[in-house]
């Protein structure tokens, strides 16, 4: 049985999720490569020590530089703020260590492009942690679309709507800096979904806006919501909407994919169900049918043998951990690689340019 030492940079919400995932993945998926939680670091040596004790990690590193340099750390998970993703990834890759990086890859397309270059030079596994597209239902949706279950696809409606910046007063940094706004922080998820389900985006137009300039005594300096009109390289049209001030929406990662012979609908607030409509059979029985995920769907069986019992948020992170270990063990890339993550940043850059010009922009120009 081969083992690999894992180091986690960041012990907050996602750092804890990754620690739990790597502690469980070897058992749930019976992976050939078994992870050992070697080290973790936080914003200070004291917080790192607390995280190590709470999460069952062998030791705390004084800072990310010490963690990356630790010879027992053979692969690095980046769960720190996006402003430091690039330098951590470049340092780890320079030592030949595989990297799993939380989304978005950095603060800009330039950050992402530099990380792709570093990964290509290192020639080791690299992956971006887009977890929502990894639900068994969404993986199955990708298979259905690719297999022609709804015919030639001609339209997609994709959204990610939440109300976390409306119903609570968050730390002030959430309201400052373009990278922390809706387009930089929340929209990467539906953009990733658009690319995964529909393929490359040829051109787009965009409206980016701040809905509430002041909230809870804090001045809001970045955007609250964004709306994109998309033309995919396939010729299909699409709309994408992301908002952090959508009243009542808690996890509104949702999509409708329309084809010439059917449609697929999904909503993350009901993540264990996929709705499928196909134009065939008795017209009197026509309509959407609800497909409950189960062992017949991708990655579900590792968690439960019973259909309809369901998976949750942390199970998505375990699936990510499995895919990352698979990429390392097999020496083959697993989607989404850093190159795939760069495509998300190119769409973001095009959206900013389109919004500024009130016209259309092409992601391949960035």
252's enclosing H/E stretch is strand 252-259
In a domain, 325, yes or no: no
| pLDDT digits 0-9 by tens, 187-220 | 999 999 999 999 999 999 999 999 999 887 889 9
Entry field: residues in the chain? 366
State the residue for tokens 């340019």.
353
Q: Answer whether residue 168 shows pLDDT above 80.
A: no
Q: Answer whether residue 96 shows pLDDT above 90.
A: yes
Q: Are 48 and 342 in contact (CB under 8 A)?
A: no
Kindly state the average pLDDT of the residues 141-159. Answer: 98
In a domain, 320, yes or no: no
CATH number, domain containing residue 122: 3.40.50.720
Q: Final residue of a domain: which of 105, 132, 159?
A: 132
Beta pairing class for 252-259 and 201-209 = unpaired
Same domain (yes/no): 63, 149? no
Q: Final residue of a domain: which of 107, 132, 157?
A: 132
| pLDDT digits 0-9 by tens, 318-332 | 999 999 999 999 998
Q: Answer whether residue 170 shows pLDDT above 90.
A: no
Same domain (yes/no): 166, 263? yes
Beta pairing class for 214-215 and 201-209 = unpaired
Q: Answer whether residue 167 shows pLDDT above 80.
A: no
Partner residues linked to 5 by β-bridges? 36
Q: Are 254 and 268 in contact (CB under 8 A)?
A: yes
Helix (H, G, I), strand (E, B) or coil at 93: helix
Partner residues linked to 34 by β-bridges? 3
Same domain (yes/no): 83, 168? no
Give, as one character, the DSSP assignment of residue 164.
T
Euclidean distance between CA atoms 274 and 268, whole angstroms: 10
Same domain (yes/no): 57, 180? no
Q: Answer whether residue 1 shows pLDDT above 70.
A: no
The pLDDT of residue 281: 76
Among 2-11, 152-161, 174-183, the minimum mean pLDDT is found in 174-183
Q: Final residue of a domain: which of 132, 156, 173?
A: 132
- Give the burial string for 239-263 (b: 16+ CB within 10 Å, else e): ebbbbbbbeebeebbbbbbbbeebb
Q: Could you give the C-alpha distances from 274 to 103, 165, 199, in angstroms and in order? A: 25, 28, 20
Q: Answer whether residue 45 shows pLDDT above 80.
A: yes
Same domain (yes/no): 200, 307? yes
Q: Are 125 and 184 in contact (CB under 8 A)?
A: no
Same domain (yes/no): 159, 226? yes
Total domains in the chain come to 2
Residue 19, CB-side half-sphere exposure with 13 Å CA sphere: 27
Q: Answer whether residue 184 shows pLDDT above 70.
A: yes
| pLDDT digits 0-9 by tens, 240-296 | 999 999 999 999 999 999 999 999 999 999 999 999 999 987 888 889 999 999 999
Quote the domain boundaries for residue 45.
Answer: 2-132
Same domain (yes/no): 162, 305? yes
Euclidean distance between CA atoms 277 and 94, whole angstroms: 49
Euclidean distance between CA atoms 268 and 273, whole angstroms: 9
State the residue for tokens 């990297």.
99
- At 90, the pLDDT band (50, 70, 90 cuts) reads very high
Euclidean distance between CA atoms 347 and 201, whole angstroms: 8
Euclidean distance between CA atoms 55 and 210, whole angstroms: 38
In a domain, 337, yes or no: no
Long-range contacts of 303-309 (CB under 8 A, 24+ apart): 303/28, 308/272
């Amino acid at each position: 049985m081969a083992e690999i030492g894992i180091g986690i940079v960041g012990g907050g919400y996602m750092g804890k999720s990754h620690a739990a995932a790597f502690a469980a993945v070897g058992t749930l998926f019976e992976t050939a490569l078994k992870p050992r939680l070697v080290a973790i670091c936080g914003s200070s040596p004291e917080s790192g020590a607390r995280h190590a004790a709470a999460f069952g990690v062998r030791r705390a590193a004084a800072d990310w530089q010490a963690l990356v340099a630790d010879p027992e750390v053979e692969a690095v998970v980046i769960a720190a703020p996006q402003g430091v993703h690039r330098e951590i990834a470049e340092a780890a890759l320079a030592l030949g260590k595989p990297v799993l990086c939380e989304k978005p890859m950095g603060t800009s397309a330039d950050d992402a492009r530099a990380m792709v270059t570093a990964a290509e030079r290192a020639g080791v596994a690299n992956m971006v942690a887009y977890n929502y597209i990894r639900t068994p239902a969404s993986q199955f949706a990708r298979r259905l679309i690719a297999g022609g279950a709804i015919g030639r696809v001609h339209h997609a409606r994709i959204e990610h709507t939440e109300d976390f910046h409306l119903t609570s007063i968050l730390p002030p940094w959430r309201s400052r800096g373009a990278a922390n706004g809706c387009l930089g922080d929340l929209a990467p998820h539906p953009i990733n979904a658009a690319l995964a389900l529909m393929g490359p985006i040829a051109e787009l137009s965009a409206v980016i806006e701040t809905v509430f300039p002041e909230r809870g005594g804090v001045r809001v300096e970045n955007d609250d919501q964004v709306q994109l009109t998309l033309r995919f390289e396939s010729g299909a049209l699409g709309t994408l909407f992301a908002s952090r001030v959508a009243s009542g929406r808690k996890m509104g990662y949702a999509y409708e994919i329309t084809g010439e012979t059917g449609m697929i609908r999904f909503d993350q607030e009901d993540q264990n169900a996929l709705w499928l409509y196909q134009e065939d059979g008795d017209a009197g029985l026509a309509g959407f049918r609800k497909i409950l995920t189960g062992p017949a769907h991708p990655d579900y069986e590792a968690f439960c043998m019973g259909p309809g019992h369901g998976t949750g948020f942390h199970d998505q992170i375990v699936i990510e951990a499995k895919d990352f270990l698979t990429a390392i063990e097999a020496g083959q890339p697993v989607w989404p690689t850093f190159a795939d993550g760069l495509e998300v940043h190119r769409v973001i850059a095009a959206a900013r340019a389109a919004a500024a010009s009130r016209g259309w922009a092409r992601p391949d120009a960035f």
